[in-house]
Structure 1
Amino acid sequence: MMKYIYLFIFCFSSTHIIAQTIKGHISSKNAEPVNGITIKLEKTSYATQTLANGDFVLNNVLPGRYTLIASGVGYTAVKRNILVVSGKNIFLNLELDPLSGQLKEVAIVLRKNRHRDQASVYAARMDLKNIENPQVINTVTNQLITEQGATDLNGIIKNIPGIAKGWSSVSAYYTSRGFNTRNYIRNGVSGYVTADLDMANVEQLEAIKGPSGTLFGSSLVSFGGVLNRITKKPLDTAKIEISYQGGSYDLNRFTADINTPLNKDKTVLFRVNAARHDEGSFQDAGFIRSTFIAPGLFYQASDRLSFSLDAEIYEREGTSQPQITPAGPGPNRLGANNPSALPLDYKRSYSNNTVTLKNPAQSFYGQINFKLSDQWSAQTNLIRTHTENTGNYLTFNLLKGDSSLVRNVSQYPTSLSAITQVQQNFNGDFKIAGLRNRLVIGIEFYQNASSFSSNALNGRGGRKSFDTLNVKGAMPNYGLISPESINSKLAGLVPIYSRTQLTSYSAYASNVLSISDQLSAMLSLRVDRFMNGGTVNFTTNTTTGNYNQTAFSPKFGLVYQVIKDLVSLFSNYTNGFQNVAPVTQPDGTVSTFKPQFANQLEAGVKAELAGDLLTATVSYYDISVKNTLRTDIDRPTFTIQEGTQYSKGVEVDLFSRPVNGLLLNAGFAYNDSKLTSADATVTGLRPVNSGPSKTGNFYASYTLPFSSLKGLGVGFGANCYSRNYIINNTTAGQFYLNAYTLLNAAVFYNKASYRFGLNADNLTNEKFYNGGFGTITPGGLRRFVATLTVKF
C-alpha cells in the first residue's frame, strides 16, 4: 500500500517540477568577452560553449544542486556551486584568469585577453599589453570578420584606418601611411604567398603601423607598416562548424572548422580549417576557383615543453584582374585626368575565362616552446613556404589620342619561390636593481630562392603586343584571345630563364624597462647582413644585381600610463630599411648605394576602458625616407642616391561596446606625403602609389541581448576614400582616381547551434577604381551574400 502512496506523491510533485534555464556571461580579467569557453555541470550531460560575445545558455536543467565548471585553453578553470530551484532561472557573471604559467612560458604565446593585447604580443615579440606598447596596432576582431561576412582580405582590411587597396593583382598591394605593403606575415613570421590566401583560417588581422625593421627585417615589410594575419589555434574542447555562403556573381563557398582533443588528458589538440571557393565577376568574364586546407596540431609534452605544427595548403586558379595603364607618352595623357573620362566599359573585362593563372602554395610552420626557468623561456620557429605562378597574365595599355586598347600577355610556364626561415627567440622577465625588465633576444636566418621562366607579348624589347581592341567599335577580335592563340604568337620567341637567391642573417634585442609602475621605456636594435646572389639569366648567361649589405635598425619608445591599465601616453622612434642593389651607369661604371632608411617619430594616446567601454588610439606620426634613388637632373640617364620622401599624418582608431549588444568600430586617417631632393618633375608633389590622403571607416551593429529574439542583430558600415594619384608629375600631368564612398549592411541571427547572416556590399552600386604603379582596376559592384553556419 505504501509504495502506491509514494508513487502518487512522486507523480503529484513531478507535475510541479519545471526545468530551468542557466544563462551567463564569461569575461577575461580585463572584461573582454571570451569565446569558446566550455560550460558544463559536473557529472551530468549538461554542457555548452560561450558565443563570441561571451554569453552562454544551458536549457532544461532539472532542479537540484550542481557544480558548474567553466574552462578553456589559456585560462584557469572556475567552479561554482549552484542551486537550481523550480520556477527560478539563474544568471551568472564569471571572470576567468589567464594561466600564469602559460603566459610566462613563452612571451610570444597568445593570451586570450583583449584582442589588441594578443596583437601586441606579435608586434613586440614579448608578453606586452597594448596599453604598454609604444607602437600603434590596429586590429580587426573575429566578431567583425564574422558579422561582415568577409570572404577575402579586402573585406577584412577595410576596418583598419588609413589602409586602402592599391595595385590589384592576384596578391594586392595596400597603402599605409603613404607606402605600399602586402600581407606577407603570419603569426609574426614569414607567411609569403603569391596570391592572397583564403581567410578561412584567420582569427584576427592586425596592422602594426610604421617602419618595423627592428623586429621584422626588410624582406617582407613596408615603411608604412606590417600586415599580420593571426590564425586559428587548436582548442581543448570538441567543436565543429560548417558554413555555406552563396550570393551574387555565382558565389558558392563552403568552409569547415573542426577541432578536437586527441587524448583524454587533452595534451594533444587538433584543428583543421578548410574552404572551397567559387566566384564569378560583375564583368562579362572573370572568376576565382580555390581549395584551401589548414591543419594544426598542438602537443603539450610537459609543463615546460610544447610543440605546434601548422600547414596551409592552397590551390587557386583564376583570371587576372583588369590592370589598365591609362596613357601613352606625352602631357595630360589622353586629355583625361580620371577614369570617368576614359572610353572604357566598366562591365567589360576585355578578356575571357580561358586566360588564367594558377597560384598553388604550400606552407609549413613548426614551433617549439620551452620554459628554461621562472624568468626565461625559449621559442624556436621553423618556416618553409613554396609558391608558384603558372599560366597567362593579361594587362592593358590605353593609347593616347584614340580608343585603342592594347592587350599584353605575360606567360609563366614555371615560376617558383621557396622561402626558408629559422628564428630563435629567448625571452626574459626579471628585475635588476628592483626594476622590471622584459627582454627578447633573437637570431634569424631567412632565404628566398626563386626561379622562373617567362615569355611575353608586351610591346617591349622589339616584341609585339598580343593585339589591339577598338573600345568604341565592334571589336571583332574581342573573343579571339585564348591559350592556343597566345602560344601561337609566342612561337619562335625565346623565353627568359632566370634564378635569384636572397639570404639574410639577423640578430636583434628588445627590452622594456619598467622605470616605475606607470612609466616604461623600450630600447631595441637589429643588425642585418643581407646577401643578394643576383639574378642569373640562363638565356644570356649573365648575372646582375648581386651585392652584400649590412644594416642597423634601432627602435626606442616611451609609455606613461596616466591611469594604470586604462589610459597611456606614448611616443616612439622606429626605423625600417630596404637594401639597394648597385646600378650600372650609362658610362659603364657601377654605383653602389647605401640601404634606404625610414625613420619615424610618433606620439599619441591609448585608452582601454574596462569592459570594452572604449578602446582607442590617437596618434601623430612623421616619417622621413632617406637614401632614396632618383634621376640625376644634370645627367638624366644616371642614377644618384639623394631623394627624400616625407610622410606625416594623424590616425584615429576607435572600438567600443558601450552597452550590452552594441558594437562600434570607427577610424579616420590623414596622410600628407611629398618628395623633396628628387627629380624636378616630382619635387614637392605627392608621390604616386601613396594612396588616398584621407580615409574613413565606420561599422556599427546591435544584437538583441535578452529576449525571445536573442541573437538577432543588424549592422551598417561605410568606407570613404579621397582622391588617389596614379600619375603626378610636371611632364605627364596628373591622373587620379576619384574619391568614393562604399556602404555595407548586415542582418544576422546567431544561436548556439546555428547562425544565419545576410550581407550587402557596395549598397549604392558605386563605380570606383583601385590603382597603383601606373595602372587602374575597376572595383566590385553591389554584392549580396547569404551565410548559413551549423555548429556541433
Structure 2
Amino acid sequence: MQNLRLLGLATAFAGSAFTAQAQQAAAIRGRVTTSDGQPAQAVTVGLKGRGQGAITNAQGEYVLDHLRPGSYTLVISAVGLKAEEKTVTLGPGQSAASVDFALAESAQQLQEVVVSAGRTNKFSRTNSDDVAKMPLKNVENPQVYSTVTKELLTEQLVFTADDATRNVPGIQRMWESTGRAGDGGSYYTMRGFVTQSQLRNGLVGNVATTIDAANLEKLEVIKGPSGTLYGSALTSYGGLLNRVTKKAYDKFGGEVNYSAGSYNFNRVAVDVNTPLNPAKTVLFRVNGAWNYEGSFQDVGFSRTYALAPTLTIRPNDKLSITLDGEFQRNTATGRTFFFPNSAISQLGFDRADQAPIDYRKAYSGPGLWTASRATNLFGQVNYQLSPTLRSSTNFASISSYSDGFGPYIGILGNGRGIGQDSLLQSDQSTRDSRGRLLQVQQLFNGDFQLGRLRNRVVLGFDFLHVRNDQFFFGSTYAKVPINSATYDYGSFNGANMTRLYNAGPPGYTYPVFNETNTYSAFLSDVLNLTDRLSVLAAVRVDRFANKGADGANAGFNQTAASPKFGAVYQLVPAQLSVFANYQNSFANRGTYFGYDAAANALTAPITAKLEHANQVEAGVKFDRLGGRFTATLSVYDIRVQNVLRTDTDPRGAALFAQVQSGEQVSRGVEADVVINPLPGLNVVAGFAYNHAELTNDGPATQGRRPSTAGSPTLANLWVSYRLPMGPLKGLGLGAGGNYASDNMVVNDANAGQFTLPSYVVLNASAFFDQPRYRFSVKMDNLTDQHYWIGYGSMNPQKLRSIIGSVAFKF
C-alpha cells in the first residue's frame, strides 16, 4: 500500500509539472522525408546560430522544444548532403509550429551518399524511442542494449528473427521452435537466464513458432532485468528481445523478392506501400512471405505463410492512429531433439560429438508434423496534448493455436560403452491447444523543465491478461538400437503414432490451464542535473492476480514494486559517456509443495514468495567520429533470491517437495562494437563472458553452473565492404561468424555432466544493390560444421547451405 501511495504522489506531481510547463514552452516539430516519401532517419535538424538540435527518429520525425517566441532558422543536414534552411516564427502565446523537409534524394540515394561520404555507420542506431519508452540517445541511456538494423538484415539475407540474433553479443539460441501454442517459440539464454521473443514494438507480441522477418525493421535486444518498464511477465532476468516492425510512409513504393537454395528452400516476399487518399493522411503498407524449406536430415520440412498489414491515419499534425496485424501459419515436422534418459555415467559418452548417431538422420519417418498459427492484432493512438506532453494509447491481442505431433528421441544407456545404448522414439502431441494474451497500455511522455533542470518523463498504466488452454499427451513408440544399418527408424511416423493413440489411452497427459491478470503502473524520469550529468529514477508497481486453473487450484494475488536507477556522465558531450545502473525484476512462481516430515508426505499447496533479481552494472558508451565508431563496454552482476529448489530431505511420497531458499549469481562482461573505419567498410563485433553459479542449493547442484545458462563465452563478428563509387558502385561482400565455448546442458552430481562442444560457424554473403534491383547470395556454415544447441538436450544444427536472391524495387 505504501508503494501505491508513493506512486500516486509521483503521478500527481508529474501531471502538474506537465501542465505547468505546457503553458510556458513552445516547440517546433516536423518530419523529414526522402524524394520517394520514405522517412529520413538520423538527419540532424538544428537551430542556426544556436546550440540546440535534434536527430530524426525512424519515422523521420523531430522535435525542438523549450523555445521562446521569436524567429528561428532551421537547418537540416546529413552526411554528404547540402544543408537546407527554413525560417519559422513563433508568436507570443503560440505553443507549436510545424516545419517539414523533403530531401531531393530518394531513400536509396541517401543511403548511397551516406556510404560514399564514409562517415555514417549504416549498421548502427545511436538513438531509440522504445528502449526507455521515450526518445533517448544511447550515450545518455544507462541501460545496455544492442540493435540489429534493417541494412544488416538485408545484407545477410536474414529470413527469421532467430538468425537476426547472431549479431548480438551475449545471446545464444538454446532450443528451436516447437510450434506449440503458448510456449512454442525459440528459447534463448542471455546473461545466464532463459528468455523468449515476446515483445513487439514494446508490447506483447508472442508468435508460437519460428518468427518470419518479413516485417522486421530492426531487432532491439535489451540487457538485464527490465521489469520496471516492461513488466516481469514478458521478460527474463537476462533481458528481452523487442521486434520493431516496418511502418507505412506517404509515397507509393515497395519490393518483390524471390529466394531459392539448398534443401529445397524457396521463398517469395513482398513489401507494398501506398497512400490511400490524395492528401496522404491515410497510409497503407503490407509485408508478406511464403517460405518452404526441407531439412538437412533425411526427414523434415517447414512451410510458413506470413502476412503483416498496417494502416496509419493522420487526420492532423497532432493525431495519428495505427492499426496493424501479424498473421502467421506454419506447418513443420518436429526438430530432432535428443535427451539423455539415463545418468550420464550409464551412457557410453558425455559429449555430443562422441554420440554414435548419424548427424543427417532424423530417426523418425514422415507425418510427425504440427500445424500452428498466430493471429495478432495491434492498435496505437498517439496524440500531442501540448508541445511538451504526448499521449500514446496501445492495444495488443495475441492468439496462438497448435495441433499435431512433437517427436523427440531419448537416449537410454546401459553402462557398456559407446554403441551399446538404445534410443527411445517418443512423442508429445498437442491437441487443439490455445494461448491468448491481451494488453492495454497508456503512456504519457513529457519533456519539460523544472527550474533549470530538464525532465524527460514517462508515466504508464498497463493491463495484461494471459490465458492458456493447452492439452499435451504422449507415449513412447519403441525402444530401438542407437545406430543400426538395417533397422527402419522411419516406422516411427504419423500413421503409426495415430494407430497407437487410437488403440488405447496415451502414456501420459499434461494439461496446462491457467489464467492471470496483471495490473501495473510505472513512472520513469531522466533528470539532467547538468549538460553532462543525468540520472534516471523509475519505479513500477504490479498487482498480479492468478485466477487458478479452471477451479482446480485456488488462485492467489501478489503485489510487487520494481525500482530502477541509473546515472550517465558524458565525458565528451553526445560522444563518450560513463554509466551505471541498478535494475530489478521479479517472478511470480505460483504454488509449490513442501515436505511434512511427521507425515512423510507433501504439504498442502504453498504460495511462493516473489522471486527477485537485482542487477548492478557499469560501463562506457562511445558514439565517436560522426557515428563511425559506436561501442558499449560493460560489466554486470545479477543476484536472484527466493529460487524454488528441490528439498533434499524428503523421502518416499514426498519426493517432489520443494523449498524456497535457492539463489543464483550471474556476473560477466560484454562488448558491442559497430565501426565504419573506411568508406564502404563496416564491422559489427561482440564479445561476452558470463559466470553463473547456483548458491544455497541442494548438494547435487551447489556451486555449479546452471544447465540453462548456455556457453560461458560467446563472440560474433561481421565484416562487409561495399564499393562506394565507380561503375560497380553497390557491389559488396560480407563475411563473419559466431563462436561459442563448451555448453554443459546437464550439470548435476547425480545425473552427471553432458557437454555440447564449442563451435565456430562461419557465414558469408555477396550482393549487388542498385536503386531498382538487388542480387544477393549467402552461404551459411561455410565449413560444414557439426554443432549442437540444447536445453537439457542435444539438437543438431543445419549444415552448409547456399541461397540466392533477386529483388525488384519500385
* Range class of TM-score, shorter chain: 0.7 to 0.9
The Cα of 1:614 is off from its aligned counterpart by 0.3
Correspondence for 1:601 = 616
How far apart are the structure 1 equivalents of 2:499 and 2:99? Answer: 62
Equivalent of 2:151 in 123, 143, 155: 143
What SS does structure 2 have at the residue aligned with 1:282? coil
The Cα of 1:37 is off from its aligned counterpart by 4.9
CA-to-partner distance for each residue in 1:273-300, whole Å, 9 max, x for gaps? 0000000110001111011110001111
Correspondence for 1:30 = none
Correspondence for 1:128 = 136
The Cα of 1:497 is off from its aligned counterpart by 5.6
Distance change (3 Å), C-alpha of 1:477 and 1:37: same
CA-to-partner distance for each residue in 1:28-65, whole Å, 9 max, x for gaps? xxxxxxx99533xxxxxxx79899999xxxxxxxxxxx
1:433-448 aligned within 5 A: 433-448=451-466
How far apart are the structure 1 equivalents of 2:169 and 2:326? Answer: 28
CA-to-partner distance for each residue in 1:348-387, whole Å, 9 max, x for gaps? 0112331100111110100000111122111100110111
1:252-401 aligned within 5 A: 252-328=266-342, 330=343, 332-401=345-414
How far apart are the structure 1 equivalents of 2:258 and 2:763? Answer: 20
What SS does structure 2 have at the residue aligned with 1:335? coil
The Cα of 1:168 is off from its aligned counterpart by 2.4
What SS does structure 2 have at the residue aligned with 1:654? strand
How far apart are the structure 2 equivalents of 1:661 and 1:261? Answer: 34
Distance change (3 Å), C-alpha of 1:739 and 1:101: farther
Instruction: Give the counterpart letter for 2:571 in structure 1.
Output: V
Distance change (3 Å), C-alpha of 1:327 and 1:564: same
Rg: which structure is higher? 1
Distance change (3 Å), C-alpha of 1:577 and 1:429: same
Conservation of the 8 A alpha-carbon contact between 1:509 and 1:524:
yes
1:239-638 aligned within 5 A: 239-328=253-342, 330=343, 332-401=345-414, 402-457=420-475, 465-474=476-485, 476-491=487-502, 492-493=504-505, 499-536=513-550, 543-544=552-553, 546-585=555-594, 586-635=601-650, 637=655, 638=657
How far apart are the structure 1 equivalents of 2:710 and 2:218? Answer: 24
How far apart are the structure 2 equivalents of 1:590 and 1:266? Answer: 59
CA-to-partner distance for each residue in 1:228-275, whole Å, 9 max, x for gaps? 111111111211200011111000001001111112222111110000
Distance change (3 Å), C-alpha of 1:155 and 1:518: same
Instruction: Give the counterpart letter for 2:410 in structure 1.
Output: N
The Cα of 1:117 is off from its aligned counterpart by 5.7
How far apart are the structure 1 equivalents of 2:39 and 2:404? Answer: 46
Conservation of the 8 A alpha-carbon contact between 1:73 and 1:236:
no
How far apart are the structure 2 equivalents of 1:764 and 1:187? Answer: 37
Equivalent of 2:81 in 84, 93, 96: 93
The Cα of 1:343 is off from its aligned counterpart by 1.6
Conservation of the 8 A alpha-carbon contact between 1:695 and 1:720:
yes
What SS does structure 2 have at the residue aligned with 1:124? coil
The Cα of 1:116 is off from its aligned counterpart by 6.5
How far apart are the structure 1 equivalents of 2:459 and 2:259? Answer: 45
Distance change (3 Å), C-alpha of 1:655 and 1:417: same
CA-to-partner distance for each residue in 1:547-577, whole Å, 9 max, x for gaps? 2211111000000111110011110000111
What SS does structure 1 have at the residue aligned with 2:214? helix
Please tell me whether residue 782 in structure 1 is matched to residue 800 in structure 2: yes
Consecutive unaligned residues in structure 1, runs of 5 or more: 1-34, 40-46, 55-69, 81-90, 105-111, 458-464, 537-541
What SS does structure 1 have at the residue aligned with 2:236? coil
Distance change (3 Å), C-alpha of 1:468 and 1:101: farther
How far apart are the structure 1 equivalents of 2:387 and 2:644? Answer: 49
TM-score computed with the length of structure 2 as normaliser: 0.83
Conservation of the 8 A alpha-carbon contact between 1:643 and 1:678:
yes
How far apart are the structure 2 equivalents of 1:765 and 1:53? Answer: 39
Distance change (3 Å), C-alpha of 1:713 and 1:288: same
Conservation of the 8 A alpha-carbon contact between 2:162 and 2:210:
no
Instruction: Give the counterpart letter for 2:413 in structure 1.
Output: K
Distance change (3 Å), C-alpha of 1:284 and 1:645: same
Conservation of the 8 A alpha-carbon contact between 2:41 and 2:58:
no
Distance change (3 Å), C-alpha of 1:439 and 1:710: same
The Cα of 1:149 is off from its aligned counterpart by 0.8
The Cα of 1:531 is off from its aligned counterpart by 1.4
How far apart are the structure 1 equivalents of 2:389 and 2:685? Answer: 39
Distance change (3 Å), C-alpha of 1:230 and 1:48: closer
Please tell me whether residue 169 in structure 1 is matched to residue 173 in structure 2: no
CA-to-partner distance for each residue in 1:695-728, whole Å, 9 max, x for gaps? 1100010000110100000111021000101111
Q: CA RMSD in A?
A: 2.8
The Cα of 1:73 is off from its aligned counterpart by 5.2
How far apart are the structure 2 equivalents of 1:424 and 1:624? Answer: 31
Conservation of the 8 A alpha-carbon contact between 2:262 and 2:802:
yes
Instruction: Give the counterpart letter for 1:74 in structure 2.
Output: G
Distance change (3 Å), C-alpha of 1:406 and 1:297: same
Distance change (3 Å), C-alpha of 1:187 and 1:51: closer
How far apart are the structure 1 equivalents of 2:423 and 2:293? Answer: 27
Equivalent of 2:775 in 753, 756, 759: 756
Q: Which segment is superposed worse, 293-302 or 169-178?
A: 169-178
Conservation of the 8 A alpha-carbon contact between 1:599 and 1:623:
yes
Conservation of the 8 A alpha-carbon contact between 2:532 and 2:571:
yes
Conservation of the 8 A alpha-carbon contact between 2:331 and 2:371:
yes
Conservation of the 8 A alpha-carbon contact between 1:120 and 1:133:
no
Conservation of the 8 A alpha-carbon contact between 1:119 and 1:206:
no
How far apart are the structure 2 equivalents of 1:559 and 1:79? Answer: 29
Conservation of the 8 A alpha-carbon contact between 1:162 and 1:695:
yes
Correspondence for 2:721 = 702
What SS does structure 2 have at the residue aligned with 1:685? coil
Conservation of the 8 A alpha-carbon contact between 2:215 and 2:245:
yes
What SS does structure 2 have at the residue aligned with 1:543? coil
Conservation of the 8 A alpha-carbon contact between 1:533 and 1:546:
yes
Q: Which segment is superposed worse, 485-494 or 122-131?
A: 485-494
Conservation of the 8 A alpha-carbon contact between 2:348 and 2:421:
no
Instruction: Give the counterpart letter for 2:81 in structure 1.
Output: N
Distance change (3 Å), C-alpha of 1:74 and 1:331: closer
Instruction: Give the counterpart letter for 1:227 in structure 2.
Output: L
Correspondence for 2:679 = 660
The Cα of 1:611 is off from its aligned counterpart by 2.9
Correspondence for 1:674 = 693
Distance change (3 Å), C-alpha of 1:232 and 1:225: same
Equivalent of 2:734 in 704, 712, 715: 715
Consecutive unaligned residues in structure 2, runs of 5 or more: 1-30, 44-55, 64-72, 89-95, 101-110, 112-119, 179-184, 415-419, 595-600
Correspondence for 1:60 = none
How far apart are the structure 2 equivalents of 1:341 and 1:754? Answer: 47
Correspondence for 2:765 = 746
Conservation of the 8 A alpha-carbon contact between 1:211 and 1:599:
yes
CA-to-partner distance for each residue in 1:291-327, whole Å, 9 max, x for gaps? 1110001111112111001101111100111111024
The Cα of 1:587 is off from its aligned counterpart by 3.4
Corresponding pairs, count? 705
